[in-house]
Structure 1
């Protein structure tokens, strides 16, 4: 390990507002008005962004060091890191915190698979293959060697599209936020008019040569919403909405 690794990891300016700024941050007074009972006392510097500094370590070299030392005894690796990181320095000592965010040192084997071994954690016994992505390495409880966890990311679960009843090419009924709404839609062409916006998703619509996957999943067609309004109970009974959806 490099003798100056401690400096390499922390030689970055800390994140936060510059002291040269002499006025409160944007939206500060509006933010205070949101409180029903605003604070009666406040530090002089707090409204000017002071006290909001955060660490800004450069942790890429640390991760590369761990990757190149897979298969070595963890005790030697940890001793080597502590040798070149000044634990009396608050900023450099913070690196040790990140180290144990990458490496799970307390591991148990369940059916031959490495799992979390911290008994005081709520996820005790959780497989390292499905745990937090930050824990990319672990210490083998049998050999004491550093191993890669071979993390398998969880599949992203897409939200279910709302209940939908299509009335015609330009109108449909959607069940949104606990109520039925009449939504007017228009097709998304390859060159749509400028500055058009989906009123439900509140996003800008751009031209696509292929169908918009999000629009097709949500509306059932390559369209976007131009207008919306809630439906009354009388209107719902007159529309072809399944009766079980109205209960």
Structure 2
């Protein structure tokens, strides 16, 4: 791909949609203004004036060349990458602003590094944050070095099969407790009441039942398994 045609390659496809006054499309100009303000605040582009016209056709983009170009810049300082992109694409035009919005969808700017792992700031401090690259590879700007980096997709690893639990149905399962196998029977926790759990040895609320068992139930009985039951359990757990 010719770098000099980066802007044309992204928007060279025909546009779809129809002409309609921007007065009837709420939030459009506000969205473009927000993009400008964020980029200007971060020092990533010079301020420019957005002048949308009475056009609301949307772009049917060919984004592959843009992403490949960004990916080829991995390992370089983002300021240099951005400066080079600004020479190839006129970001003062509506099409340039459109391309810039796609750049930010590919590149994560607001990043925090926790234990050497990159997280988006928006979710880094959630209870179970998803690191950058959790579901798909993602470009990001390293917060310390300013270098454009790539977080590769984390390969999926199926959870290991538990060796101390075997489900029978919604209200019965086998569980190994202190090296002894038991048949556990569950029961629904009544509304506005508690369930005396014989396994956890405590009274459960419906919320606690959800937390422990995935539904508002409690263990109502616990019966030690016979040799025949244990043999069945071992056979089931050995299956791949």
Scaled by the length of structure 2, what TM-score is found? 0.44
Of Structure 1 and Structure 2, the greater helix share is in: 2
Scaled by the length of structure 1, what TM-score is found? 0.43
